Structure 1
């Protein structure tokens, strides 16, 4: 899928997930207020036992809500020749920041539109990005568009790469949740493999013409889905 993104905090909070790179920028006042407070934890979570980027699936969800990044992708018969896939993407449990930018890889997104923005003062599409002002507690954002996500490997084989997904603060990575639903009904595609393999913290629900996964993790998550056509002409 060639989704690429990164989130930055302390000067910046970097969040990565799906096709976007989401940058949540702290003002100098906000940054100084946190550094001068008695709270030893950054907005993303505890600094104890900081994860430095290694992927660790969580044995159970964190006690407090964390950023949830959800994608719904619809692969059509036309996608097999063009690579373009319909995308619906939502962000929930967003952190409070004065300025947020969600950046999609240029040339791989089109017809980008905001479909929902709750507890956000201003939101607008600017080229291959979504710009937000005054993201408040309980904020939720949803967008839609077309993403060039499916790669034709010839001989009836296709791949979709997602990630890296991450939530980064300074040199540490903190918990986040990523879920994805992929519908490929009516295309003749059959799922061959999913990477990583299903395990605690990475739940996979495979159906005849669709797949979903739900991940709770720290570090950097990349996923790979491999498909083949049931019948190759």
Structure 2
């Protein structure tokens, strides 16, 4: 099957099919069939991961403090806020996926209502990458590959009294009933906007790092299961 990643309200869902990013399977299917589901097409995946290598079968989040033997898929996000972001909720996104398991085809799928101006910025060791509306179609993903995209994303919600909420997720790397290690790094840059971090969920803990500055924050985590993040910012007065 074809790995597919879904971004809902600023999130990206990675399922894993023989993958490091999305799900895999084992039967040949016809992509021209109107009922074709890439997640069910095992012929699209390589032999990078087997279900026996999974660490957990529970979607409950588990933060890891040691790197697994196989380098995990790395999902990196750079989110830039402007003054208009606090009014309309739209931010600039640059997103990169690296250490993707070799695979014939992978599709990154985003929430159509919350994504705009989706473009492929660059690729490494990928034969073809094409942005089509709310998705990016990758073909011929090789070793040591990387794809970076840019887009506008609606992810900021004003809660009133100078508080703004940003939610992302679920981030997940899954195959059948198993969950595999994945690294997510999220840098939120608000520049000279008069903001400060009020709280994050999950909160900073071993395996989930939160680095703060006057101009932004960085979240970095290695985990298994399903990760949902929430960041609250407040006008600094």
Specify the TM-score bucket, using the shorter chain as the normaliser.
0.7 to 0.9
| Partner in structure 2 of residue 222 of structure 1 | 228
Equivalent residue number for residue 7 of structure 1: 14
Q: Is the 8 A contact 2:44 2:105 kept in 1?
A: no
* Paired residues of 1:83 and 1:149 also in contact (CA < 8 A): yes
Instruction: Pick closer, same or farther for the CA change 1:27–1:198 going to 2, 3 Å.
Output: same
Provide the C-alpha distance between the structure 2 equivalents of 1:209 and 1:9, rounded to a whole number of angstroms. Answer: 35
- Of 150, 160, 179 in structure 1, the residue corresponding to residue 156 of structure 2 is 150
* RMSD, matched Cα: 2.6
What's the counterpart of residue 199 of structure 1?
A: 205
The answer (yes or no) to whether the contact 1:25–1:100 under 8 Å persists in 2 is no
Scaled by the length of structure 2, what TM-score is found? 0.83
Q: Which of residues 108, 115, 123 in structure 1 aligns to 2:121? A: 115
Aligned with residue 103 of structure 1, among 84, 98, 109: 109
Shift of 1:214: 0.8
* Partner residue in 1 for 2:136: 130
- Match of 1:200, SS state, is coil
Question: Aligned-pair distance for 1:51?
Answer: 3.2
For the Cα contact (< 8 Å) 1:77–1:186, is it kept in 2? no
Deviation string 1:177-219 (CA, Å, 9 cap, x unpaired) is 0001111122211111111111111111111121001100000
Task: Name the CA distance, whole Å, in 1 between partners of 2:204 and 2:229.
Answer: 11
The alignment partner of 1:80 has SS state of: helix
Alpha-carbon distance, 1:173 to partner: 0.6
Partner of 2:4: none
Q: Using a 3 Å threshold, how does the CA distance of structure 1 residues 108 and 89 change in structure 2: closer, same or farther?
A: same
Gaps of 5+ in 1: 17-22
Q: Which residue pairs with 2:89 in the alignment?
A: 83
**2:91 is equivalent to residue 53 of structure 1:** no
Given that 1:198 and 1:204 are in contact with CA atoms closer than 8 Å, whether structure 2 keeps it comes out as: yes
TM-score by length of 1: 0.84
Tell me the SS of whatever aligns to 1:160. Answer: strand
Structure 1 residues 118 and 227: CA distance shift in structure 2, 3 A = same
Cα deviation, 1:160-191, whole Å, max 9, x if unaligned, reads: 01111110010011101000111112221111
2:188 to 167, 182, 189: 182
**Counterpart in 2 of 1:160?**
166
Quote the offset at 1:7 in angstroms: 3.1
> Following the alignment from structure 2 to structure 1, what is the Cα–Cα distance between the partners of residues 137 and 128?
8
Rounded to whole Å, the distance in 1 between the matches of 2:218 and 2:38 is: 27
> How many Å separate the matches in 1 of 2:98 and 2:20?
16
Q: Equivalents in 1 of 2:167, 2:10: separation in Å?
A: 7
